[in-house]
Structure 1
Amino acid sequence: MEIFPSLPQDIARLILECSAEQDRNSALTLAYLSRQVRSWIDQIIYRSVVIEHPRQAEAFCWTLGQRHKSFFQTHVYTICFAYGITLRHTVKILSVCDRLSSLACWIEPASRLLPTTTVEATVTRVQPHLFTMLSVANIVSSFEYAPRRLSCTLHHLQCTTDPDFSAPLLENVTHLDLYRESQFFYDWSWKGFCEMQNLMYLSFDLSIAASLDVITYVLAFVPASLRVCLVLFHRGDSMFGSIDDFFETDERMQAMVVGDVDRRLVIGSGEALKRYSRYKHMVLERTYKDVLKDWSHSLGEEDMWTVAQEIIFRRWQR
């Protein structure tokens, strides 16, 4: 079937691919035009996989059984697991898609982790969900290619209370997001962290009720290669009415916002700041939807890291 009979095939392909790039729904529709068109569009559809709901997880797991593993190894570059996926689905997907450039895995077990020395048979009997978490840990630790971008609760992904930053999974990482882990930072030994030679971008979230000492504590361990350390603040259990109030009244926070504490440090907010906030142009605003987009698109597109670098540049120009 010729879609544009009057056009050369390479021009027709370019038109269809551009349309698919602009809108995912269009991409899914175009894939049904013909086998040839599907071979073009599938590369775009499967380049980035985002799973937020159980039905999406079920559908993608079904798709895994319809094609050879090599197809997904070749075409799937980015995976973002939000909250609508079970550990068992995660195991199935990552066992096939094991050549990722970017992985965001925000799942976590339902209860406290047991030590990694626990015999798997015992774990299965006592905490069935943990056996699956161990399976996830085993799979990601044996990836053929370590991802360049990683967002996860690392101590869950490694099934340990003290993450090992020298693990093979992290050897190629340039962008690392430590998701919901700041309350454990003082308990870690940070083994191998300062030796992560490829790490250029680090981010973590922090409640405005937490001590700001956590930030300077982490900065003491970062490798020399680091360009940006992004801290995204959320309200948590704070008594402050808003993040705006926190920024306007805490002098130490203000020093961090303007770059006086560390030039690599960029402060972010998990909610939009008020229009009249004097720090609005120096604070990176990122809602959940923004962060989801950051971790679900392809490398090279604008994301929170490029915005953070722009903030650093603007501060330098002051």
Structure 2
Amino acid sequence: MDAEPALPLDLEREIFETAALLYPGTLPTLLRVSRRVLVWIEPLLYRALRIDSPKTAAAIERAMELKPSSFFSDNVQSLYISSYCGWPNQTRCTFLRLCPHLVSLSLGFIMPLPTGILPVLAGLLHVRM
């Protein structure tokens, strides 16, 4: 089997990105095709994040350790953080600061608002809540 792709890379990328967007259930499989496909497709996993359980929160915390902060800034567009995710307020604020280009944000909090959240929210210029 040839190591070189049979199609031009830009066309190959377009095919994989389109498949991932049209059939999101195939994302885990597509991520395992090759290293270059992982690089192209993985950011799509982070476009819309729903952090609603301790398991999901732990996975995002692990990604925060492994990925540069620019990864979240460049890729996360829509974010929901549940009050049941298990994150302390400091972690919520830290993650929100990593995502300054959000366009959609939903926060589930048990009142009153967590300490320190308002200054962080003020820094999100493009967000719709």
Match of 2:102 in 1: 100
Is structure 2 residue 52 aligned with structure 1 residue 71?
no
Give the CA deviation at 1:10: 2.3
Is structure 2 residue 126 aligned with structure 1 residue 146?
yes
Unaligned segments of structure 1, at least 5 residues: 114-129, 151-318
Distance 1:6 1:59, change over 3 A: same
Q: What does 1:229-268 correspond to in 2, within 5 Å? A: none
Tell me the amino acid that sits aligned with residue 78 of structure 1. S
8 Å contact kept, 2:53–2:86: no
8 Å contact kept, 1:20–1:30: yes
8 Å contact kept, 1:73–1:97: yes
Which structure has the highest helix share of the two? 2
Give the CA deviation at 1:79: 0.6
Distance 1:2 1:86, change over 3 A: farther
Deviations 1:153-205 (A, max 9, x none): xxxxxxxxxxxxxxxxxxxxxxxxxxxxxxxxxxxxxxxxxxxxxxxxxxxxx
Give the CA deviation at 1:102: 0.9
Tell me the amino acid that sits aligned with residue 76 of structure 1. V
Give the CA deviation at 1:94: 1.0
Q: Distance in 2 between matches of 1:2 and 1:84?
A: 49
Q: Distance in 1 between matches of 2:93 and 2:3?
A: 39
Match of 1:27 in 2: 27
Q: What does 1:118-267 correspond to in 2, within 5 Å? A: 133-143=114-124, 145-147=125-127, 149-150=128-129
**Structure possessing the higher radius of gyration over alpha carbons:** 1
Deviations 1:191-246 (A, max 9, x none): xxxxxxxxxxxxxxxxxxxxxxxxxxxxxxxxxxxxxxxxxxxxxxxxxxxxxxxx
Deviations 1:66-122 (A, max 9, x none): 11111110111111123532352422321212221111112224xxx3xxxxxxxxx
Match of 2:80 in 1: 80
Deviations 1:123-168 (A, max 9, x none): xxxxxxx7xx11222321233x331x21xxxxxxxxxxxxxxxxxx
8 Å contact kept, 1:79–1:100: yes
TM-score, with length taken from structure 2? 0.81
TM-score, with length taken from structure 1? 0.36
Q: How much is the aligned-residue C-alpha RMSD, in angstroms? A: 2.5
Q: How many residues align?
A: 127
